[in-house]
Chains A and B, each alone.
Chain A
Amino acid sequence: MKMITIKKNEWAGGLEKAAQAFRLFGPVKEKEFHSFKRLQTGVLPDLTCLNTRLSPKHLIYPQSEVMFDYTLDESKADHHILKETARDDSPQAVVGIRPCDAKAFVLVRMNFDTPEYQDPYWIRAYESTTLVGLGCAAPCSSCFCTTAGCGPYHEEGLDVLLADAGDHYLAKVLTEKGATFVAAAGWRTAAEPQAADQKIAALKQASESKIASFVQTDNLRAAETTDLHNAAFWEEVSFACINCGTCTFSCPTCWCFDIQDENRGKTGVRMKNWDSCMYPLFTLHGTGHNPRGSKLHRVRQRFMHKLKYFVDKYDRGIQCVGCGRCVRLCPVNIDIRRVCNMMNGFAASGEACAIK
């Protein structure tokens, strides 16, 4: 594992060089909040950003993605034949991504890249992407990454971990992709590995000590699925929910999508669009029956998927990295930390825990 020192006065020049080999994306502030945007020449990622309002999942998994196009014009030889739509899978790098958002791609990959099924769109985008993360020196009060299988300096999913060491960044190069990026940027000053490791460990410890928000997940796996499904607390948990898609669309780990054909005149496209378990069309059957026809069913589905079905299926923890976006953005303040602890408490006691 290589450790590089990047002096802050080498930062902008390095990114400029890297931009010749990579499409660069980073947090940029527009009006009231930060989003991950393509960095235009001369624009630097804003590394003062605590985190972006919405997650960067769209950089690998766009909200709407055209897969095929076709013509319905019967005078054309290839009418009614789906043709793969050209797309740009040239190398891209996401600079300033937070460790939680990088870890989220590891979780999402479990769904899109399995021995049985490979989603070529997601995989190609993922493989062309280098994640250059920045350790969090100042986590938000609603961040709960350390108990959600992640952390402010967590390395899983990242290609490079940057740590802000005052007048320079320490760059821990974690993968081949990361080495390629650092070389393209021309950052070559090796850091003394032991001292750099110690520095990062100290920063990590300082940051982790600032995390003030936690979830308990230790009982989820042992819990009886049907008992949890039938728990009395879902009515109380779901009451305030308005079934909007804010939580699922802002979440870095929500992966559900829907496929649509859209025609205009004699041509059309087949596209993937994000779907949300909060929506009335989600799992609506062709018969008109919907097994998740009510608000309670939908809210329960979201939490059970993230905190129980995922846990059971993969045995890799919960489908959540503790970024806190859904907590901060829910219009009616439904808080996954509270629900997770209720589910975990229920599992421990075998009955609905006292509702806080």
Chain B
Amino acid sequence: MLSYTEKIREIAGRLLQSGAVEMVIGFRAGTVPMMNEPHFAKTPADVQKLVWDSHCGINLANYLTDRKEKIGVVAKGCDSRNIVTHIIENKIKREQLVIIGVPCKGMVDKRKIAMKAEAEITEVIEAETTITVKGHGFSKTFEKKDVLQHNCALCIHRNPVIHDEIVGAPVEEQQGVDRYADVRSLEAMTPEQRWKYFDDLLTPCIRCYACRNACPLCYCPTCFVDEARPQWVGKSQDPGDVRTFHFLRAYHCAGRCTDCGACERACPVGINMRTFTKKLEKDCLDLFGWEAGLDPEVRPPLDVYRPQDPNDFIK
């Protein structure tokens, strides 16, 4: 994976030089440990800033919405699935894109690592399978697989599902992953327990909407929480309004969410709002055998009626 950076630069440089694309969207090195910044390259100097490592968790499909240019975009497995969803939902045209696929072994969870470090992390050194963090008076090495973002640890689509260029050989897909253990434990709760769980989960929310805005699926011209005429949702910290936002946001992702983890990663107060979307993801899999973003030619189950659709819920 450490060779990806050079390969991305080479491909980006070639695409820009030949005029195949007007810009390449990727990442440049961050200014704080374990962070990179989404970045567009238009010139050879910009291209030299493109990087790849285990801190590229932001979903770059989010930067394609309604763009008009011809774009090269760096895409790991989940990004590629959201690009497929964008194509299905007419948010970008396939022919506008040159997709630079990145076989991915997962992004590391910076909070998990920070919590295991004795002090503030000031330096990070990455090797093929390990990551070493250093700070004042300590140095600690982790196996990357032990500190992955939760969604990455459960990922079964690490290779891009659609691409025009590829930066490395395909990686092995994880087998036998139990993707929904957390959802099952929620399903097993009584309604009262579940309500309490949701309340505790959402208590720290400050309504910054980082989860919504980091999500490539959330592109409504005006989000329901921002509608002013009529105003559907109150603006205060009232728990009812906070819940309304989170629950409706999740429902809008039904059959579309790829569990890329951008929402959870973006949250400044560490809320795992994937709990909601994963339940919907599991339902879509159970009811329709559906996983989002695998094929641009297939309409999503909530878009189409099929006679064999399950209708047991009609009582």
Contacts and interface: CB of A to CB of B under 8 A. Distances in A.
A26 to B, nearest CB: 18
B228 A243 contact: no
Interface in B278-292: none
B111 A242 contact: no
A249 B206 contact: yes
B147 to A, nearest CB: 15
A89 B210 CA distance: 33
A244 B32 contact: no
Contacts of B35: 333
Interface in B129-186: 136
B311 interface: no
B206 A31 contact: no
Nearest to A337: B31
A239 B39 contact: yes
A332 B208 contact: no
A51 B58 CA distance: 26
B265 interface: yes
A333 B213 contact: no
B120 A280 contact: no
Contact of B32 (A240, A273, A279, A333): A333
Interface in B55-113: 58, 62-63, 111
A72 interface: no
B33 to A, nearest CB: 8
A239 B269 CA distance: 24
A240 B236 CA distance: 28
B222 interface: yes
A63 B270 CA distance: 19
Given A239-B38, A242-B266, A332-B58, A327 B32 contact: yes
B51 interface: no
Nearest to A329: B268
Nearest to B33: A141
A242 B228 CA distance: 21
A351 interface: no
B268 A260 contact: no
A33 B270 contact: yes
Given A281-B226, A335-B31, A64 B238 contact: yes
Nearest to B37: A333
Contact of A245 (B32, B208, B222, B270): B208
A331 interface: yes
Interface string A61-73: 0011000000000
A240 B213 CA distance: 11
Given A64-B237, A249-B208, A240 B31 contact: no
Contact of B37 (A140, A281, A329, A332): A332
Interface in B192-225: 206-210, 212-214, 222-223
Interface string A219-249: 0000000000000000010011011111001
A338 B268 CA distance: 21
A184 interface: no
A338 B37 CA distance: 13
Contacts of B258: none
B298 interface: no
Q: Is the interface of A mostly helix, strand, loop or mixed?
A: loop
B214 A242 contact: yes
A304 B222 CA distance: 26
Given A31-B270, A53-B268, A280-B222, A262 B30 contact: no
Given A260-B236, A271-B236, A245 B115 contact: no
B36 interface: yes
A138 B35 CA distance: 22
A82 interface: no
A331 B235 CA distance: 22
Contact of A273 (B30, B39, B40, B235): B235
Nearest to A64: B236
B303 to A, nearest CB: 26
B234 A244 contact: no
Contact of A284 (B32, B120, B136, B228): B228
Given A260-B236, A329-B268, A246 B32 contact: no
A334 interface: yes
B131 to A, nearest CB: 18
Contact of A142 (B32, B222, B228, B235): B32
Contacts of A54: 206, 268-269
A167 interface: no
Contact of A244 (B136, B210, B238, B265): B210
A322 to B, nearest CB: 14
Given A240-B38, A338-B31, A331 B120 contact: no
A32 interface: yes
B17 interface: no
Contacts of B226: 279-281
Interface in A141-163: 141-142
B275 to A, nearest CB: 15
A250 B111 CA distance: 17
17 contacts: A32-B270, A33-B270, A53-B268, A53-B269, A64-B238, A140-B120, A239-B39, A244-B266, A245-B207, A246-B210, A260-B235, A262-B236, A273-B236, A276-B208, A331-B267, A332-B58, A333-B30
Given A54-B206, A332-B37, A333-B36, 15 more contacts: A32-B111, A64-B236, A240-B37, A242-B210, A242-B213, A243-B213, A244-B266, A245-B206, A246-B266, A260-B235, A262-B234, A329-B268, A331-B210, A333-B31, A333-B37
Interface of B: 30-32, 35-40, 58, 62-63, 111, 115, 120, 122, 136, 206-210, 212-214, 222-223, 226, 228, 234-238, 265-270
Nearest 6 pairs of A and B residues by beta carbon: A331-B266, A244-B210, A64-B236, A245-B208, A242-B213, A240-B38
Interface of A: 31-33, 50, 53-54, 63-64, 138, 140-142, 236, 239-240, 242-246, 249-250, 258, 260, 262, 271, 273, 276, 279-281, 284, 327-329, 331-335, 337-338
